[in-house]
Each structure stands twice: as C-alpha cells, then as structure tokens.
Structure 1
Amino acid sequence: MNTPAHLLIGAAAFGRPAHNRILLAAFAGAALPDLSLYLMAGVALFALNIPPSRVFNELYFSDTWQTVFAIDNSFIVWGILLGVALWRASPWAIALTGAAILHLCLDLPLHHDDGRPHFWPATSWVFESPVSYWDRTQGAMWIAPLEAALALGAAIILWLRKPPVWAVIATTGLLFAEFWVVRQWLFFFASI
C-alpha cells in the first residue's frame, strides 16, 4: 500500500480524539514502517547518486536493507511496543503503535514479490501475496482504485472529526499525494 494511504487510514483508525498529540502519533505510527525505505533510498539516490535501477533492483533486496525492513516491519516488535503502550495506558503510544500495526496488516496481503519478513525475529519467512498494490501484472489495476477509495474514505472521516488546521491541510495533501501516486503506478509505470 502506498504511504499516503497508510497515513490517512492509520490516522482515521487511531487518531481519536482528533487533537494534536493523538493525531500526530497516529500519522507518525502509520509512517514508521516505511521510514527506513525513504531514508535509505533517499540517501542512495540523492546523496550517493546511485541509479534508481540499482537502488530498487539490488539494494532494496540486499541482506542489509532487508534486515532493516525486518525490524521496522515486524509484527512481533510492534506487538511488544503496543503491549507496553497498553500496559502504560498511554493514548499517544497506543495511537502510534496501533497505526504501525495497521500499516503492517495492510501491507502483508498487498506485496507480491517485494514483501517484508513481518514475523522477524521468529522467522525470516516472507509472505508472497498473489496480488500487488503497484504491479499491474499482479492485480494492481483492481487493488489501486480500492486503495484510493479507502484513502478517500479515511480522509472524509478525518475531516468530519474537525481536526486542527494542520491536520486538515495534511489530510488534504496526503489525499492528493495518494491519487497522484496511484495515477503514476497505473498509467506511467504501466507503459515502461
């Protein structure tokens, strides 16, 4: 699932009440499982000038990158953190960890050949879904519009809660980003 959709859905699911600390934690938690990818790919692409084909065809699948992805995409790690948040009865920590786990739940069935080892450290097994959120050969023409519809629904839920102005702006920007990314996956990358 695309990161903007994760943020919108995570904030809609865990951003209650719609005030600054809880909403910010839900947005952050929904982003954290993808953060390492953005940081590592950003450094590789823009600081080290490594070609995108090498970044996404080699480095992405390297043992080093996959180890980092295993840690920040682990149901076990996030489950322990959620347990601590629940034990401490910390609303912002519950929003953060809950949104991160929701991110993993949405990613697990939507990665065909680029999934993560979601049950690390117990196993390095990676579920290979029969469908993909981005790969047209694996059903993205059906999945991407559903993802965009879910993101729109989440945005509407967030707007109806009358959140702070920054959250309205963030929600609107994320929704536009989601629609742009879906358009790119379906129309631009399909022609390559």
Structure 2
Amino acid sequence: MNTPAHLLLGAAAFGRPDRRGTFSAALLGAFAPDISLYLMVAVSIWGMGIPAETVFRELYYSDAWQAVFAVDNSFILWGLALGFSIWRRSAVFTAFCGAAMLHLALDFPLHTHDARQHFWPLTNWVFESPFSYWDNAAYASVVSPIALSMSAGALVIIWSRTKALWLRGVSLVLFLMELMSSGVWRFIF
C-alpha cells in the first residue's frame, strides 16, 4: 500500500483521541517500516545525485538495501516490540508498534518482486505475492481501488472519533495524498 494509506489505517486502528499521544504514535508507527526507504531514496537522489531509475531499478534490490528493509519490516522484531508494549501496558507504545505491525500485515500480500524479508532474523525468505498495490501486471487496477476505499473508511472512522481540527486536518491531507498517489502509481506503472 502507499504510505498515506498505511498512516490512515494505522491511525484509525490504534489512534485514540481519548488516550493522549496514541494518534501521533500510531501515525509514526505506521510510517516506521517505510522510513528507511524514504531516507535512502532521498540521500541517493538528492544528496548523491543518483538517477531515480537507478535507485528504484538497482539500489532498491541490492543486498545492502534489502538488509535494511529486513530489519524495519520484520514481523519478528515488531511482534516482540508489540508484545513488550502490551506487557508494559503502554498505550502510546502499543499504538506505535500496533500500527507498524498493521503496516506489515497489509504490505505482505501486496508486494511482488519488490517484497521484503518479513521474517528476518529467523529466515531471509521472501513471499512474492501475485498481487500488487502499484503494478498493473499484478492486479493493481483491482487492489488500488480497494486500498483507496479502506483509506476513505479510515478517514470516516477518525472523523467520527474526534472533533479536534488538527486530527481531522491531518487525516484529510493524508486521504488526499492517497487519492493522488494511488492514481499516480497506476499511471506510471
């Protein structure tokens, strides 16, 4: 899924306006599995001047990049962190880790050749799904509207839970970003 969809779904599932800090924690947790990608892409393209085509066709698939993705996309590591947060009864840390786990659970069935090592460090195995959120050759024309619908549902949930303008504003901006990005990926790929 696109990152804005992950943020909306994580916030809807784990953000509780009545539990201080959980909405922000859920947003950050939903973003956490993608942060290394954003940082490495930004440094490569804007810091090092590497063409985007090289970044996404070569560096993304390199052993070095995949090793980083294995860590921040590990069901094992995030599961341990979530278990610890529940044991400690930390609403904020549970929202953070729960949103990250939801991110992984939604990514797992929607990545084809670009899949990650979700069970690292136990194994380097990669599940290459027949479905993709971005690749039309792998049913993105079906998956993407479903993801967009889920994002709209998450927006409704967030708005129904809070009257806080900043929460509503952030969630609306995320939905608009998802609306734009889901259409962009289908057009590009």
Task: Quickly name the TM-score band, shorter chain normalised.
Answer: over 0.9
- Offset, 1:68: 0.6
Q: Could you state the TM-score of these two structures normalised by the residue count of structure 2?
A: 0.97
Residue of structure 1 in register with 2:110 after alignment: 110
**2:116 match: secondary structure:** coil
- Offset, 1:156: 0.7
One-letter identity of the residue aligned with 2:28: A
Residue of structure 1 in register with 2:79 after alignment: 79
Residue of structure 2 in register with 1:157 after alignment: 157
- Offset, 1:163: 4.9
Indicate the percent of aligned positions where both proteins have the same amino acid. Answer: 50
One-letter identity of the residue aligned with 2:57: N
1:20–1:164 contact (8 Å) kept in structure 2:
no
- Offset, 1:20: 4.6
1:110–1:133 contact (8 Å) kept in structure 2:
yes
Residue of structure 2 in register with 1:66 after alignment: 66
Query: Are 1:167 and 2:167 counterparts?
Result: yes
One-letter identity of the residue aligned with 1:61: Y
The answer to which of 14-23 and 169-178 deviates more is 14-23
1:18–1:164 contact (8 Å) kept in structure 2:
no
Tell me, which stretches of 5 or more residues in structure 1 are unaligned? none
1:25–1:95 contact (8 Å) kept in structure 2:
yes
Tell me, which stretches of 5 or more residues in structure 2 are unaligned? none
CA RMSD of aligned residues (A): 1.0
Residue of structure 2 in register with 1:123 after alignment: 123
Q: Could you state the TM-score of these two structures normalised by the residue count of structure 1?
A: 0.96
**Structure 2 matches for 1:43-54, cutoff 5 A?**
43-54=43-54
- Offset, 1:22: 0.6
| Aligned mates of 2:118, 2:96 — CA distance in 1 | 18
- Offset, 1:115: 0.5
| Aligned mates of 2:182, 2:94 — CA distance in 1 | 30
Q: Do the aligned partners of residues 145 and 34 (structure 1) sit closer, same or farther apart at CA in structure 2, a change above 3 Å counting?
A: same
| Aligned mates of 2:31, 2:92 — CA distance in 1 | 15
1:111–1:128 contact (8 Å) kept in structure 2:
yes
- Offset, 1:18: 4.7
One-letter identity of the residue aligned with 1:13: A
**2:125 match: secondary structure:** coil
